């Protein structure tokens, strides 16, 4: 089995995702506008909205969806924003969210407050 690497458009220094078998491994998703590469939103809650829209678009383009995510790793600039993240994510995640690790880190750009990587499955009926 061979991994399929998905590049960013416009290109970045790392891949957007990797599809391997029935799994999609998403690199750190952020709130950047895909066309301008500018971080959108000034609060964690606002950035979560843009971030999940970006993630949803990526997953759907690869034959999956947010409902098929089995693991999230959430990177917060300020770990005290955990509750703001959790309140904002309910719009996008099932009542019982998947396995999630939340940690405080220094992010790549000063205006970034949150970044998330994820592992999702590709449903049997969506495989190409």
- Interval 79-101: pLDDT, tens: 999 999 999 999 888 778 899 99
What is the token pair recorded at 6?
């998905």
Domain count, the chain: 1
Question: Looking at residue 116, which CATH number applies to its domain?
Answer: 3.30.1330.40
Estimate to the nearest angstrom the gap between the alpha carbon of 5 and the chain centroid.
16
Burial 44-79, CB ≥16 within 10 A → b, else e: bbbbbbbbbebbbebbeebbbbbebbeebbbbbbee
- DSSP at 103: E
Report yes or no: 74 and 101 within 8 Å, Cβ to Cβ. Answer: yes
Q: Which domain holds residue 100?
A: 4-126
Average pLDDT over residues 47-54: 96
Per residue in 7-26, pLDDT tens? 877 777 788 899 999 999 99
């Amino acid at each position: 089995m061979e991994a399929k690497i998905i590049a960013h458009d416009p290109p970045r220094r790392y891949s957007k995702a990797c599809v391997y078998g029935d799994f999609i491994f998403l690199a750190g998703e952020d709130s950047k506008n895909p066309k301008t590469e500018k971080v959108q939103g000034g609060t964690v809650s606002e950035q979560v909205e843009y971030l999940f829209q970006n993630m949803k678009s990526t997953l759907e383009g690869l034959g999956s969806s947010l409902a098929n995510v089995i693991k999230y790793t959430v990177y917060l600039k300020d770990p005290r924003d955990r509750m703001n993240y959790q309140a904002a994510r309910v719009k996008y995640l099932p009542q019982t969210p998947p396995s999630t690790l939340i940690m405080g880190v220094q992010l790549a750009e000063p205006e970034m407050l949150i970044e998330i990587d994820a592992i999702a499955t590709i449903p049997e009926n969506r495989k190409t």
